[in-house]
Homo-oligomer: A and B are copies of this chain.
Amino acid sequence: MTSAHVIALDAMGGDRAPEIVVAGANVARVRYPDTQFRLFGQREKLEKLLKRFPKLDGVSEIIDAEMVIEPDMKPSQALRRGGKSSMRMAIDDVKMGKASGVVSAGNTGALMAMAKLALRTLPGINRPAIASTFPTQRGQSVMLDLGANIDCDADNLVQFAVMGAAFARSIQGQRRPIVGLLNVGSEESKGHEEIRRAAEILRNAELPLEFYGFVEGNDITEGTVDVVVADGFSGNIALKTAEGTASMYSDFLRATFRRSLFSKLGYWLAKPALNALKNRVDPRQYNGGMFLGLNGVAVKSHGGTDAQGYANAIGFAVDMLTQGFNEKVIKDVELLGQFSGVPVEAVNS
């Protein structure tokens, strides 16, 4: 029912680019047969790789890009010197309307800076945010901002809430997502002034979401809400703390099963069940930092992912386009207009 989407790929970004990018595009092609790809990078390398996947080759175009944005390049440097980079050219492709979405596994800061400059934000959105899905006790949720904005005012947070909810409706099929603001307690008097003011606006606005109120760090994995909204500083710390804790648990568990002959045998017996657990928290499944709020679709893949993970990042971009994510955000943010000036009486520390 949907028309073909064209996705621009920064084929040179990521730890194992361009191999993983091409292999990932091939996995995505099977899942989304209508999609076309525009691969930005070193033509010779890409031509050689595409020969392995004739069907992908048939729906792909290579655009030669001589430069690569290095992982340690500062966003300001990337803006100044990255004009001919595979990353920038892929972004500009969206700007020029040749592609409708861009995916990169390269330098996050550079990608955000260049995407912001080239694509600009959607009407009514002051700043883009980075969102990601993650596993919870009840299923999956989405959290934003994960680091694009260190300092956020109340309007930023409210706009993040609108975007997060539109994402949950578009991608996770929730009709009326439950949205919470990340804080250090659930009482109305808790936290910074900005967060209390954002809560007040969300409590009064009529939006296609249900505002839950404040949530705490443990609510993230408990799945208390469908959408966790945070400033980029707290959101980044929460995300990385969760990743670190999960990885510590996996490592401890691995060491545990190696302790004795009995535990090794136990592992062997429980292996199918343990594999199911592994799938449930498989990071590849959650591979995609969605840059929400841009006038165009941009997804950041984890730099170290494999073809499956990269295909998932492409999948997020295609789904956002198919579900009209940006159109939803524009519509919802219009509803906000009348509420953003509400005086905040409830705010008194």
Contact = CB atoms under 8 A, between A and B. Distances in A.
Count this chain's copies in the assembly.
2
Interface stretch (A44-52, A266-274, A288-296, A315-323): A266-274
Contacts of A257: 270, 273
Interface string A114-143: 000000000000000000000111000000
Given A222-B244, A249-B249, A256-B274, A236 B217 contact: yes
Interface in A38-95: none
A184 interface: yes
A132 to B, nearest CB: 13
Given A217-B244, A270-B263, A192 B238 contact: no
A263 to B, nearest CB: 4
Contacts of A241: 217-218, 220-221, 237-238, 241-242, 245
Would you call the interface of chain A mostly helix, strand, loop, or mixed? Answer: helix
A239 B185 CA distance: 13
A280 interface: yes
B262 A272 contact: yes
Interface residues of A, number: 59
Nearest to A269: B266
A217 B233 contact: no
Interface of A: 135-137, 147, 150-151, 182, 184, 191-192, 216-222, 230, 232-234, 236-249, 251-253, 255-257, 259-260, 262-263, 265-274, 276-277, 280-281
Given A221-B248, A241-B241, A265-B266, 4 more contacts: A151-B192, A237-B238, A255-B277, A263-B269
